[in-house]
Each structure stands twice: as C-alpha cells, then as structure tokens.
Amino acid sequence: MTGETARYQPQITEPKWQEAWEAAGCFTARRDPARPKYYVLEMFPYPSGRIHMGHVRNYTMGDVVARTRKAQGYSVLHPMGWDAFGMPAENAAMQEGGHPAEWTYNNIKVMKGQMKPLGLSIDWSREFATCDPEYYGQQQAMFLDFLEAGLVYRKAAVVNWDPVDMTVLANEQVIDGKGWRSGAEVERRELTQWFFRISEFSEELLAAIDGLENWPEKVRLMQKNWIGRSRGLQFSFSTVDAPEGFERIEVYTTRPDTLMGASFVAVSPDHPLAKHLERHDTGIAAFNAECRRIGTTEEALEKAEKRGFDTGITVRHPFDTAWELPVYIANFILMDYGTGAIFGCPAHDQRDFDFATKYDLPIPAVFVPEGEEDAALAEAYVPPKSERVQYVRGFAGEEVQTGEEAVEAAIDFCQSRGVGQGVTKFRLRDWGLSRQRYWGCPIPVVHCDACGVVPEKKENLPVELPKDVSFDQPGNPLDRHPTWRDCACPRCGGKARRETDTMDTFVDSSWYFARFTAPRAETPTVAEDVAYWMNVDQYIGGVEHAILHLLYSRFFARAMHRTGHLPAKAIEPFDALFTQGMVTHEIYMSWDDRERPVYHLPEDVILHTMVDGKRVAVLKAQLVSNGETLEDRIDNTLALGIGTAEIVPSAKMSKSKKNVVDPVDIIARFGADTARWFVLSDSPPERDVEWTSAGAEATHKHLARVWALSERIAAMPEAGAAPGDADLLRAMHRAIDEVSRTIESFAFNKSIAALYTFTNVLSKADASGPVMRRAVRTLAQLMAPMVPHLAEEVWAMQGGEGLVTEASWPVADPAMLVSDTVTLPIQINGKRRAEITVAADATKEDVEKIALADDAVLRFLAGAAPKKVIVVPGRIVNVVL
C-alpha cells in the first residue's frame, strides 16, 4: 500500500470518533446501583475566552482517569462547567463596553468549541456556569440556610479603597500602593461586610487533614500551617497614663516563657487604643495613616520596614510592678491575629530585635545555649522550640529545658498567679465574602429601616442581577440602580434597600462539585444523587488552589452537611487530590534600538541547532525582508546574532512574554491525540512540563508510526505461529501491568514510556499474525485513555468489537510477568565491577558462591578472603574487602 491512500489523518478520524462516542452516549453519567461509581473532577475553568495548554494538560489527566475507570467497570461521572463570575468580565465591560454576561457567555461558547475537539469523555449534559441564575439562585438559598444556622454574620473589615475611583480594589489591582487605574494612593478603609464563620471549624478542619491520605503531603502541610493552631498565654498588662477605657492592654503570646525578656509592648494601627489615640494626636494619626497605606496583604506588611510610634503610654510588668515597658503602635502587628497586641522580646525574635535596635530598647536574653554565658546579642537567638536551652531569666520550670516545656511551665505558673489564661488560637480568620462588585452572586438580604437586615424569602429567589447596567462610571452599578436596589422589606413590607454586595467567587467554586451530581435540581442538591456520587474520588487541579479553594470547599461541605444539603460522608468532599504542574515554554527575546526587550511568538521564529550544539532562534520576518533562506543566514550573520533572538529558558506561558502555544493551532496541525500525548509524556504530572515544538512533532511521528504498524499487522495472515510469539505475549503482559500501575499512581509519563517500549518491541517482533493482532489490540486499549481517537482507529483496523472506549480494561497475567533467571550486579566495596546471571530462585548461598567465583571478583580479591558478602536476593551482591 502506498502512502497516498493510507495515512494517519487525525483531522479526519478524530471528529469521526467523537461523533461515534456521542451517538453511543458513552459518557453520559447514570446512577447505577449495580456498579461502583467513580467521580473524576478537574477544577473547572474561568471562561477567559481561550483554552491554554494548562487546561489541555489538566483535562487530559482527568480524562485518562475517567476513561480508565470506565474501562474498569465503574459508573463514571466526569462533568465540566464554568467558574463564570469575576472581575475580568467587569474589566472587559469597562474597557470595551458591552455587558459582563454577554462577554462571559460568549467566552464560554468559544472555549467549549475549543475543548470539544480534544475528545474528552465529559458528560456535557451536566454543564453549567456559576453565573446561571439557576446555579446562583441555589447558592442564595444555601446562604439563607447558613444565615439561619448562624454560619454567616456581619462585621467591619478592612478593604483597599481607591479615593479617586471611589471603589474597592482587589489586592492585584493595587500596584506599589497605588490604584491600577487611577494611580491614586490606596487607603485601608473599614466597611461592614459579610463573613462565613469558618473559624468555628478551625479545630475540625485541622484535625481532619490527617484523614486526607490521598492528598499530597505538601498540600496538607500548607493547610495545616494556614489554619495555624497555636498554644499560648493571653493576659493583660495594666497601663500607666492611658486614656480612660484602656486601663489594661490584652496581649497574646506563644512564648510566655520569654516574659522576663520583654522590652516593649506593640499594638496594631487598627487596635482600639491606636484608633482612640489618633483622634487626639496628629502625630499618631499621621503614623497610622502611613501604616494603612502599606495595603491589606500580609506579604506587604511583612516586607515593609518595621516601624513604630511611641505612644508615651507605659505598662507595668505583671511580675514586677516597678518595671515599666513602653507601648508602641507598630506597623507589623496584625489586628486580625491574636488580640492585635503583643509584647516584644527582642532577644528571641528577629523582628522584635530589629525593632528594639532601631528604637534603642533593651535586649535582655531569657535563655542561652546550654553551657554558654549570658552576653550581648548581635542578632536574635531563635533555636527550635524542641531544643534544650539554659534559662537565665526564666521564671517557671527547670533552668535547663526545652522551649516547649518552658512554655507549658510558664502558662501554668502565670495561671496560678492569676496572670492570664492558657489559650489555643488559630491563624485562620473568618472568610470575608462581601465584594463591592456587580458580576457576582447577589447576597440575598435586604436592609430595612424598621427591621434591619432581613433575609429575602426563598420563594423570591433567585435574586437576579439586573441586566440594565452600565460601567461607564466608577463604583458598583448595583449601588446606583434605583429599581433593583430599592425594594420592599420581606418582613414588614416597608421601604428597604437590597444588599448591593455580591459574593466572593470562591463561594461559587466551593460547592460546584456537589451541584454536578444534580445540576438541574430545584434544590441545591438531591439526597439520592449526592448519596450515590459523592465524594469526588479524584480531584485534579493546580497547586495554586492548594490552600484557599480547598479549605473553603472543606468548610462549605461541613456547612452544607449542617444545613442538610450533604450527607455526613461528604464533609471531606475530595477523597483524592492531585495537583498538576504548569505548562511552560521558552521565551524568544531580542532587543530594540533602545535596549528594551522585544518578545517573539514561537511561530515567528525558526529554531536551529548549530554544529557546536548551541540553539538559536532565527526571526522569520528578518529572513523574509532580506530575501534569505535559513542556510544563508546560518552561513552569514548568525554568529553575529543579527536577526536572531535570545532563547530564555522555560517560563510560565503568558501573553506578555509571547510564549503562549495555542492548543487550537496544535490540534489543527497535529490533531488532539498529539496534544494529549505530549502534555502527558515528558514530565511527571505534578511537575511543570515544557512545551517544545520538536517534542510535539516527535509525538505526532510516533502516533503515525503506531498507525502504520497497525496497518501492517492488519495485513498479516490470519493463522499460524512464530518463534517470537511467547516473547511478544510476555512483553504485552508487562505493558499491561506497567501501564495499569502507573495510571493508578498518576505517573502518566511512565505509562507513556511503557507504551513506547511495548510499541518498539511490537514493531520488531518476530511473531505470528494472530499474536501480533492480539498485541496491537491490547496496545490500542492501553493507549485509549491517552489517545482515544487513534486507539479507536487501531481497534477498528484490527477487527475489535464495538468501540475500544466501551471495551473492558485488560488484566495482566502474573505468571507472564516473572522470568526464570535474573541478572545481578556485583559490587566490590560498593562499586559495580561485574554482573552474574542466576536462577531467579537461587539461594543466598548459591548466589554468593557464584559471585565469588566470578573472574572480576577473583581479580579484586587477589587471593584474599572477603571481609563480608552482602547478598540482597534479586537485587545485588556487595563484596566487602
């Protein structure tokens, strides 16, 4: 057969198989009590308008799991939806006009059109967007249930305020302390906002992490640290010369053992005392205002230079009333943590040390390394709490003890003297969900002059966003929409105003996984559906969600359970979690005549490897304008670097660096299977993978080789036997075993390596037609999760029954996996010097005898007896001289 008529043509075959799957309803999820269920979920996308390679990688991984589980007989749920609320839609409306809904739904349409050609085994009948009123209406219903259950409340909280645009800014909209649009200095301002009482679950959310065995250890650690349980002492200092009402300052410390090393007290600029003082003291007012300009992120506060303002107030030390400590307002004290006030022990905290040095405060050491003398410190001495140290200013417990022991002893001592209480605190703060924006789920309450805050009646849900809004003025359009904003009080019928804050988009994504089990239901969830489908058996997404999204979802599952929307088994909604790495690409950069960087798209350069192995990127535009060929360029000016771009090693794909590879282009050129195979092949899934055009081309070639191999095998005789049959069958079972195990353990790069190995064996095998056919059909089955279209093609070519997508997963025969001999390396003093082949069931003694008789071993022994011989059966022999 010539290459003319028979070729691997994904552009033709891929749509064909997608239609076949759709016609057969392969991916429609059904509750089937007779079968075990499997729920695979990839973190749903934000509809930005285009899919990127990260999506391809994420969804391909989920698809491998979904298709494998389906083949293994599970009833699979593999849904897809859209995390559709958020600021970009509003930004687009501001910049380009139009309406956020129009922008969002259009993006969804485009992105879905780009995703469909990937051939993912998604049940599209369950699709929804979080901006659908049907979805957010149910979310509002749950909000009301949470409100009734006491899981939501209002309190004042700090926001970034842009005084020119008169609007609240997100952290990412604050650049160097200035508003991104107005350029005005951003202020911290307090607003009354809605909060979820997530902190009520701190202890439980922390304790339950230990049960999340199939989560990555790093995510569990990050969550633990985020919740941040600490044990400490809360007590108050009595003040001297403080204003009325501030006779005491309550502080919290995790190191009460350092109380005798205290040298100052510091309160947050947002502390009631600081706020009181600023009303009467312009210096303090100016200092506090300065602090508030730093912003609201913890990062900014931590990185800012540590500064304080001496209030002139002092406090008495609890164990020595003659000892007075100055009270500062300090920019690094968070009002949200502890009591918003601390005592500083500069000897044993670097921040306090820097502060004390700056303000010339004493630095008395409380403890020193065992056996050392008390001496002046050049920096804070901060040993691990588990280390034994010698206390020179301790007041409780032994003189030499660990920090942990000393803390407990100090708490006991203080409590017995009536100085404070031992308390457990958490770093985790309540979740502020209010957003002063339009494009989010409206908070379904009204503010009535007579009744106060009144929940909307459930029969009036959803509280829909008004469509007639404009974004030509700063601020939230809901605030200035009179017919939407003004309403009747659900309780008294009097004049009332709707809440104009909308919900954080994290709320939308905190329960979508539950909604997928019954996406069209008229209640948030349906008992039978959540009972059958929950939990998510495998959740897959980016590590950037390791803390907030996952923690919020864990909280939501508990809150939903408490309000009757989820069964108890679903309070940890994700049984297994996998966090995948990014897709990166190298950057092509040159410089313009003013020495500014200019970035070039991958398709605008030709990559060439020079003889010395150096890679260069030649600018296509340069070749065209000079009328040159690549060869001319290589001969002439390449060495000079003219018309070439520097290759900067891989970086996260971003539009500004122009290193984005568009999946749509790749699919058009090579087909979806090439894109799918490549994103799985090179790197372990949890690590970043670098997209390279050479790799994509090589993948495509390999897939074409498999196609051609299948075609060759299809033409082989129907009957007969050949000497290589047994070897090929062994290789086949090894491949089944390896691919099955590596898919199970999320090592898809190794699955692909095993498929390469098996394909290489298969193409060189000296086996008969029937065995070859059997092997290549198995190859199709093993490849199907990764490259389902090609697998169908091969399956059909070999006369496979029905669709390979519907075929059951092959099982390796253990008897075919063992061999009768084994090759062992022999080390001499830990260095490999020889190898021997012995029977797989040889005894240690036999192996030792054979090893010691080996030529190389005899040469090294030179007649002497070995000191020791270590035989690890099946692995290695080590002879120690």
Task: Judge whether 847 and 867 are in contact, CB under 8 Å.
Answer: no
CA distance 798 to 774: 8
CA distance 9 to 669: 10
Q: C-beta of 665: minimal distance to RNA in Å?
A: 19
- Residue 311: its H or E element: strand 308-317
Q: C-beta of 681: minimal distance to RNA in Å?
A: 6
Question: Residue-wise over 608-644: b if at least 16 C-beta within 10 A, else e?
Answer: beeeeeeebbbbbebbeeeebeeeebbeebbeeeebb
Q: Which is nearer to RNA, 277 or 761 (CB)?
A: 761
Q: Which is nearer to RNA, 70 or 676 (CB)?
A: 676
> In this structure, what are the phi and psi dihedrals at residue 325, rounded to the nearest 5 degrees?
-115, 140
Q: C-beta of 881: minimal distance to RNA in Å?
A: 9
Q: C-beta of 14: minimal distance to RNA in Å?
A: 20
The DSSP-derived string for 529-556 is HHHHH-SBSEEEEEGGGTTHHHHHHHHH
Q: C-beta of 323: minimal distance to RNA in Å?
A: 29
Q: C-beta of 581: minimal distance to RNA in Å?
A: 8
Q: C-beta of 597: minimal distance to RNA in Å?
A: 15
Per DSSP, the three-state class of 745 is: coil
Q: C-beta of 625: minimal distance to RNA in Å?
A: 25
Q: Which is nearer to RNA, 18 or 681 (CB)?
A: 681
Identity (one letter) of the amino acid at 612? D
Q: C-beta of 305: minimal distance to RNA in Å?
A: 10
Residues 6+ positions from 632 with CB-CB distance below 8 Å: none
Q: Which is nearer to RNA, 17 or 85 (CB)?
A: 85
Q: Which is nearer to RNA, 100 or 261 (CB)?
A: 100
Q: Which is nearer to RNA, 220 or 317 (CB)?
A: 220
The DSSP-derived string for 808-853 is PPP---GGGT--SEEEEEEEETTEEEEEEEEETT--HHHHHHHHHT
CA distance 581 to 297: 26
- The secondary structure of residue 253, as a DSSP letter, is E
Q: Which is nearer to RNA, 219 or 260 (CB)?
A: 219
CA distance 687 to 99: 38
CA distance 45 to 56: 11
Q: What is the separation of C-alpha 683 from the centre of its chain, rounded to a whole number of angstroms?
A: 17
CA distance 622 to 645: 11
Q: Which is nearer to RNA, 473 or 609 (CB)?
A: 609
Q: Torsion over CA of 337, 343, 349 and 354, rounded to 10 degrees?
A: 100
Q: Which is nearer to RNA, 202 or 525 (CB)?
A: 202
Q: C-beta of 35: minimal distance to RNA in Å?
A: 32
Q: C-beta of 808: minimal distance to RNA in Å?
A: 26
Per DSSP, the three-state class of 147 is: helix
The DSSP-derived string for 570-597 is GSS-BSBEEEE--EEEEEEEEE-TTS-E
Q: C-beta of 240: minimal distance to RNA in Å?
A: 31
Task: Judge whether 784 and 791 are in contact, CB under 8 Å.
Answer: yes
Q: Which is nearer to RNA, 303 or 457 (CB)?
A: 303
CA distance 393 to 524: 59
CA distance 771 to 729: 7
Q: Which is nearer to RNA, 148 or 302 (CB)?
A: 302
End-to-end CA distance of the chain: give it in Å, rounded: 64
The DSSP-derived string for 153-210 is EEEEEEEEEETTTTEEE-GGGEETTEETTT-PBPEEEEEEEEEE-GGGGHHHHHHGGG
Q: C-beta of 82: minimal distance to RNA in Å?
A: 9
> In this structure, what are the phi and psi dihedrals at residue 179, rounded to the nearest 5 degrees?
-65, 135
Q: Which is nearer to RNA, 172 or 360 (CB)?
A: 172
Q: C-beta of 353: minimal distance to RNA in Å?
A: 12
Residue among 363, 374, 373, 366 nearest 259 (CA): 366
Exposed/middle/buried for residue 266 (C-beta within 10 Å: 0-12, 13-18, 19+): buried
Residue among 855, 852, 856 nearest 870 (CA): 852
Greatest Cα-to-Cα distance within the chain, rounded to the nearest angstrom = 107
Q: Which is nearer to RNA, 81 or 326 (CB)?
A: 81
840-848 long-range contacts, CB within 8 A, separation 24+: 840/874, 842/873, 844/871, 844/873, 847/871, 847/873, 847/877, 848/877
Q: Which is nearer to RNA, 367 or 431 (CB)?
A: 431
Q: Which is nearer to RNA, 134 or 682 (CB)?
A: 682
The DSSP-derived string for 49-71 is SS--HHHHHHHHHHHHHHHHHHH
Task: Judge whether 855 and 826 are in contact, CB under 8 Å.
Answer: no
Q: Which is nearer to RNA, 46 or 135 (CB)?
A: 46
Q: Would you state the structure tokens that stand for residue 417, as one six-digit string?
A: 């003297």
Exposed/middle/buried for residue 594 (C-beta within 10 Å: 0-12, 13-18, 19+): exposed
Q: C-beta of 683: minimal distance to RNA in Å?
A: 4
Q: C-beta of 191: minimal distance to RNA in Å?
A: 6
Q: C-beta of 244: minimal distance to RNA in Å?
A: 33
Q: C-beta of 525: minimal distance to RNA in Å?
A: 22
CA distance 787 to 673: 5
Q: Which is nearer to RNA, 543 or 714 (CB)?
A: 543
Handedness of CA 794, 799, 800, 801 (dihedral sign): positive
Q: Which is nearer to RNA, 31 or 220 (CB)?
A: 220
